[in-house]
Chains A and B, each alone.
Chain A
Amino acid sequence: MSDEDQPQLGQAMLALANDRQRQFVIAAIEYPKKIGRWLHAARAAGYGTAKSTNKSLAAIGARLAADDRVAAALVEESRKRLRALAPSAVAALDRMIEDPKHKDHARAVAAVLDRSDPLTTTHRVEVEHQHRMEPWQVAEVRERIAELARRAGVLPAPIDAEFSVVEPEP
């Protein structure tokens, strides 16, 4: 893995014995279903052999998940992922404030915000602002777009130009 690909791992993830355990934690968190999480994570992390049965992989996974260090890493990584959801939750919160009928929605949003960062307090502040950006702000946004586009391997903006096919010279 190159240096720029190295994720910023938390203390609990760093404390794990090896990369396979870290992969187990990531796979367990990414698995979308409720049933078979440990089995899937153990398989994705490369535990067992090609002939290992689901039962033995599930046992390996469950044993790993019960390990204190792995359990701590699971909690840490889950919190990190939930924190990444916070911007969407804030946007949903805004929508909910506009429509007070969304009571269930409000509970879900509050839960995400609470779990992502218990110390965060959300205030609704009414601010009057103009949408017009200053030239330096536009330049900053464009610079950020160019940087992110380079990282993602895309053009900063589609090329919008007329073109003609040039025949090679004889």
Chain B
Amino acid sequence: MTARKTYHPQMTNEQRDAWIAGLTPSQRRLIGIPVGWMYTAVIAAISKRWLTLKIGDDERLMILEHLNNSVDGISFTEEMLRTIEPMTDLGQKMVDEAIRAFGGVHVKSRPNILDFFAEVEVFDALCQASPSLQRAVNIHVRHHAA
């Protein structure tokens, strides 16, 4: 994995400007998106991918309840949830690689994996791989601009 470039609140203004200047336009649009929102969107896409598999009713209900609970109506709305489609093969490959790189999804590594997904560069790459994530970002931006 390459060196992590990420926004940190302790950056000086010069460092922050340089960081922003190095971002692509699509990455720049993600700067104001809360990290918690990005976690939720990625997990929703992964969860929806599980739902395309043959699983029991109990597991299906558990995943759907989790998705339903992730809707808070302010930051993450039902419209956003509906817009997010199951993670594509490429997106899932990226997720699997990240999980492997962080040593699995045990409790200690989970915050690191989620932080990693919420890095502007990583989330943007996931949006390219799974375009419905980008559509959900557009709704989020529109929703909060209103």
- Cβ–Cβ contact A36 & B75, under 8 A: no
- Cβ–Cβ contact B34 & A31, under 8 A: yes
Smallest Cβ-Cβ distance to A108: which chain B residue = B107
- Cβ–Cβ contact B54 & A158, under 8 A: yes
Q: How many residues belonging to A are interface residues under a CB distance threshold of 8 Å? A: 41
- Cβ–Cβ contact A7 & B72, under 8 A: yes
Name A25-39 residues within 8 Å CB distance of B.
26-27, 29-33, 35-36, 39
| B45 → A minimal CB distance (Å) | 11
Checking A5, A33, A160 against B73 with a beta-carbon cut-off of 8 angstroms, the contacting residue is: A5
Q: How many residues belonging to B are interface residues under a CB distance threshold of 8 Å? A: 44
Whether B61 is near chain A, meaning CB under 8 Å from some CB there, is yes
Whether A4 is near chain B, meaning CB under 8 Å from some CB there, is yes
Whether A10 is near chain B, meaning CB under 8 Å from some CB there, is no
Binding site for A on B (CB under 8 A): 8-11, 13, 16, 32, 34-37, 44, 48, 51-54, 57-58, 60-61, 64-65, 67-69, 71-75, 77-79, 81-84, 86, 111, 114-115, 143-144
Shortest Cβ-Cβ A-B pairs, 5 listed: A36-B9, A30-B36, A153-B82, A7-B73, A148-B64
Please, could you name 6 A-B residue pairs with CB atoms under 8 Å apart, sorted by A? A2-B79, A29-B36, A36-B10, A145-B64, A152-B68, A153-B81
